[in-house]
Amino acid sequence: MSVLLSIDNLNAHHGQLPAVRNVSLQVRQGDILALVGANGAGKTTLLRTLAGAHRASSGTVRWEDVDITHLPAHQRVSEGLALVPEGRRLFAGMTVRENLLVARAAGRRGQWSFDTVLDAFPQLAPKLNAKAGELSGGQQQAVAIGRALMTNPRVLLLDEVSLGLSPLAVQGVYDALRGVMGQGTTLVLVEQDLQRVQAVASRIVCMLEGRVVADAPADQLTRAQITAHYFGAQRPEAAQPNHHAHDAHKEAA
Ligand code: ATP
């Protein structure tokens, strides 16, 4: 599979604080890559740096063979790299229809259109004239993903799409995402629920304190190994088989 994104020795800071440290990673066409790690591991900062929403301090990001490390975010969107940000960031006072259509001009031509997005998220059809801010969390997440799809991304970066949603709403979002994956869109997603990660991801990348500490095909990492990476392998208690990473994550918070 061809490499779409090559990340080489990437560093990103918040002020003096290093949040992403020497990250090297490749995203290949068709990957469903899940980024996991405890609160503060640097997952959001990495996604935002890839999307051009956060400045890289050093290192390179290549899109196919082109260095895009310092390309503005909107130009990355036109190249086919779109971010669904943590917290969704919709235009709350605009309607669902407006939120979807506003993204159309930013992106590429392709299979995703207003109609195909509504096919993927049928729950939005009766809500088109509702203000985005009045929707439920699950519906808002559907709009956020739909808005990104309207730009026809080749790589879709998804930051914690489950955050704050009911289990039913999470299921609805992932059911729709399965359709998106079926269309061949490459996904990089941050997800805290390891069960879901293991169900959907083709590759799992674990981050700890800004660094990549594991990068492997999903079927080659056990839950216990992933959990151990939440804390670093030097913490033997984290490697116990029944220790759930989701709980571990809460303890770490
Ligand atoms: P979470 O699961 O909490 O979103 P994360 O793995 O996405 O965590 P980041 O949000 O990227 O991690 O945070 C990485 C580091 O950068 C943390 O130490 C965090 O405290 C710090 N950080 C994140 N955002 C900011 C900010 N706006 N200003 C200052 N420091 C920040």
Would you list the domain boundaries of the chain?
3-90+154-251
pLDDT of residue 185: 86
Test site for ligand 1: of 45, 88, 161, 190, most ligand atoms within 8 A of the Cβ: 45
Q: What is the pLDDT of residues 159-197, one digit of tens each?
A: 998 888 888 888 888 888 888 887 788 999 999 888 889
Query: Which CATH code of 3.90.245.10, 3.30.750.24, 3.40.50.2300, 3.40.50.300 fits the domain covering 3-90+154-251?
Result: 3.40.50.300
pLDDT of residue 166: 83
**Measured from the CA of 210, which atom of ligand 1 is nearest?**
14
Which of these ranges, 29-33, 55-59, 168-172, 218-222, has the smallest mean pLDDT?
Answer: 168-172
Does residue 56 register a pLDDT over 90?
Answer: yes
Residue 246 has pLDDT above 60, yes or no: no
Q: Which protein residue has the closest C-alpha to ligand 1 atom 22?
A: 14
Give residue 212 CA to ligand 1 midpoint distance, Å: 15
- Going from the Cα of 12 to the center of ligand 1, the distance in angstroms, rounded, reads 11
- 182-197: burial string, b at 16+ Cβ within 10 Å, e else: eeebbbbbbbbbbebb
Q: Which residues line ligand 1 (CB under 6 A)?
A: 14, 17, 19, 37, 39-45
